[in-house]
Amino acid sequence: MSLGVVSGSVGHDKIPVRKAGVPGFSKAIIPGSLVHMFSNDLWVRKFVLDCADIFGLPSTSNACMSRKDKFMFAFGLMNITTAMRRMDSTWRGMHKKIDTKDAAWEFCRRFYEKYDELVIPSPQDNNTTNRGVPINIAKKLQTLKSLPSGSVQ
């Protein structure tokens, strides 16, 4: 039986992979893809969370205490996975050979040296328009001094 990782845990849930996730939602996940590895490979999961920890982000969605935390958690994971796709051979070369904390530091350093930008930029930087954040959201974020605690209208 193959074990899956349910959101908010780091590999301690003993749920078969085919049942992990949202009930009734079936989506084919390509074996070996980043999504598949994040869901089934403890090293990859820890690596992503260690990258998030470098930037002071919550490590699980359950650790988010406010809307700002939830936004930053989602924004951080989006940017980490984008960076991992951009430098696929770098982190795959470290996969299961190097401790996840050391691998995360080295990956973030190499990413900065190659692209001259952080793995997780400030959501208020102009660079976010090219990093997957829609332009209208990026413009709203640039005008805010801090993220609102209520809903944005």
How many Cβ atoms are within 10 Å of 96's Cβ, its own excluded? 12
**Cα→Cα distances 102→11, 16, 114, Å:** 20, 30, 18
Dump pLDDT digits (tens) for 58-72: 877 787 888 888 888
Residue with tokens 């893809």: 33
Helices 42-54 and 67-86: crossing angle in degrees, nearest 10, is 120
Distance CA 137, CA 16 (A): 38
Q: Which of 36, 55, 45 is nearest to 8 (CA)?
A: 45
Dump pLDDT digits (tens) for 35-52: 778 888 999 999 999 999
Dump pLDDT digits (tens) for 94-150: 999 999 999 999 999 999 999 989 999 887 765 544 454 455 555 655 555 554 444
| Average model confidence (pLDDT) across the chain | 74
Q: What is the DSSP string of 66-129?
A: SHHHHHHHHHHHHHHHHHHHHTHHHHHHHTTTS-HHHHHHHHHHHHHHHHSS-SS--TTSGGGG
